[in-house]
Amino acid sequence: MTALMTPVAVTPAALRAAAFATFGPRTSLQRTLDRLGFVQADPIRAPARAQDLTLMQRVRGYRAGDLERLYPALDAEEDVLPNYGFVPRRVQALLHPREPGPTRVERAHPDLLAALRVLLAERAELHPREAAAAVGQGRVVNAWGGQSSASTRALEALHYRGEARVLRRVGGVRIYGPAPHLEALRASPLPEQERLRGAVQLLADLYGPLPEASLRYLVGLSHFGLPHLHTGLRAVFRDMVRGELAGAVVDGVRYVWPAGSAAEPAQTPRGVRIVGPFDPLVWDRRRFAHLHGWTYRFEAYTPAAKRTMGYYALPVFQAERAVGWANLKVEAGELRADFGWSAGVRETAALRRGLGSELARYRVFLGLDA
C-alpha cells in the first residue's frame, strides 16, 4: 500500500515518493508475486523481458529468466488483468469464470475449439505445434498483424476462457494443459461482489497513488469477459472511492490510493533506478507526465524514423524523480547503454555514480558478471 496521509496537504513530491512503495524491500520471487498480485508480461527482450525487468527491482538475487524457469513450482498462473501477465491463484480466482463472446478464430473455424478440448482431455500437456499437426487448420492474423496458426489462437482462446492453463514454457512457447482448478471455479465461483471489490482493490494497491481517471479506465478494462459485470465494476468503483479509497486533488488532478495506508508520508527514495516500460511505477502515462513534467513514450511498435527515445527506452529515476531514459543492449557479452535526459537535467557526479551502480546490478541480472 502507498504511504500517504490524508489530513495534510498532499504535494506532487509526496505522490512521487509514495509511488516508490511499489518496490518495498527485496524478497523472494513468490512473496513478490503475492505482494504485487500481477506482473505484466511482454515478449520483447531489450535487454530482458518486461516481467524480468519488473521482478529484478524487487526480488533478491533475481536473474533474467528466473520466472519462466521456476514457474512450474510457483503459485503463479499466466492470465489477463487487464493486460497479459502473471498472477497468483488467489488473484486468478477473481478473474474466473469468464464468458467472452466468440473470437475471430472461433468464427472462422467453429469446430476447432471442440477438437482442442478433446486433445486437452486426452493429454497431460499440449504443445501448439502438436495441436496444429492434430487438427490441421490454417493460419489467421494475430493481435500484432502477423500470422499465427489457427490452432495456436484457439488454444489462447481456451486459456482466456479458463478451459486450459499454461503449464510451462519451452523456448518461450507456452505448453498448455487442463485447468481443473478453474473448472472448479466455474462450478462454484466467488461471490460477485467479492470478485469486483477484490479486482478494484488490487489495481489500486498495485498502481496507486493514481489519478482517479486512470484507475477508472483500468477498472473499465477489467470486466472478466462478462458484459454485465462492466456496469457492476463501475458501481463498485464509485462506492470504493467514497470508502476504501482515500484521495486528494493535487494541481487540479484528483488522485486516489488505498485508505488505511501508513500514517506518515513516504520518505524520499535514494539512488538511481532504471525500470521497465510496464513497471507499476511508470505504467500510467498520465501520472508520469503530471508528476515528472515530461512525456515518456514506449516506441518499440513505432516506426524507427518516428522514434524520439529509442526502440525500448527504460525510464531512469534519480531519487523519486524521472530524469531521463536508457536504451540497454548486450553486444559481444558486454552491456551497452545510451542515455537521454529530460530538459534541465545535468549529469552530475552523483548521477554518474548511481548509474554505474545500477548498470552493475543489470550485468549481474543478465548473467554478464562472470
Q: Measured between alpha carbons, how far is 283 from 218 in angstroms, rounded to an integer?
A: 11
Using left for φ > 0, alpha for ψ between -120 and 50, and beta otherwise, residue 78 falls in: beta
Q: Region 296-305: what's the mean pLDDT?
A: 95
pLDDT at 259 > cutoff 90: no
pLDDT at 152 > cutoff 80: yes
**What pLDDT, on a 0 to 100 scale, did the predictor assign at position 9?**
75
- Residue-wise burial string across 44-62, b where 16 or more C-beta atoms lie within 10 A, e elsewhere: ebbbbbbbbbbbbbbbeeb
**What pLDDT, on a 0 to 100 scale, did the predictor assign at position 262?**
45
- Grid cell at residue 282: 511508470
Q: What are phi and psi of 177, to 5 degrees?
A: -155, 175
**What pLDDT, on a 0 to 100 scale, did the predictor assign at position 164?**
97
CATH label, 104-187, candidates 3.90.1310, 3.40.50, 1.20.120, 1.10.10 = 1.10.10
How many degrees, rounded to 5, is the angle at CA 59 between CA 54 and CA 63? Answer: 80
Q: Is the full-model pTM beyond 0.85?
A: yes
Q: Measured between alpha carbons, how far is 199 from 207 in angstroms, rounded to an integer?
A: 12
**What pLDDT, on a 0 to 100 scale, did the predictor assign at position 278?**
97
Environment class of 92 (CB within 10 Å of its CB; exposed 0-12, middle 13-18, buried 19+): buried
Residue 189 DSSP code: P
**What pLDDT, on a 0 to 100 scale, did the predictor assign at position 175?**
97
| Average pLDDT over the chain, rounded to an integer | 89
Q: Measured between alpha carbons, how far is 311 from 279 in angstroms, rounded to an integer?
A: 17
Give all strands of the β-sheet with 84-87 in edge-to-edge order: 39-40, 84-87, 77-80
Q: Region 295-319: what's the mean pLDDT?
A: 96
Name which of 206, 160, 28, 193 is nearest 94 in CA terms.
Answer: 193
Q: Region 207-227: what's the mean pLDDT?
A: 81
Domain ranges of the chain: 104-187, 272-365
One-letter identity of residue 39: V
Full DSSP string of 197-232: HHHHHHHHHHH-SEEHHHHHHHHHH--TT-HHHHHH
Element (H, E) at 351: helix 349-365
Residue 8 pLDDT grade (very low, low, confident, very high; cuts 50, 70, 90)? low
- Grid cell at residue 144: 500484432
Q: Measured between alpha carbons, how far is 181 from 186 in angstroms, rounded to an integer?
A: 9
pLDDT at 45 > cutoff 80: yes
Environment class of 119 (CB within 10 Å of its CB; exposed 0-12, middle 13-18, buried 19+): middle
**What pLDDT, on a 0 to 100 scale, did the predictor assign at position 233?**
78
Residue 74 DSSP code: S
**What pLDDT, on a 0 to 100 scale, did the predictor assign at position 115?**
94
Q: Measured between alpha carbons, how far is 368 from 275 in angstroms, rounded to an integer?
A: 19
By mean pLDDT, which of 28-32, 215-219, 271-275 is the weakest? 215-219
State CA 271 to chain mean position distance: 24
**What pLDDT, on a 0 to 100 scale, did the predictor assign at position 7?**
46
Tens digits of residue pLDDT in 51-71: 999 999 999 999 999 999 999
Tens digits of residue pLDDT in 93-142: 999 998 888 888 888 888 999 999 999 999 999 999 999 999 865 554 44
Residue 227's contacts (CB-CB under 8 Å, 6 or more residues apart) are: none
Element (H, E) at 117: helix 112-122
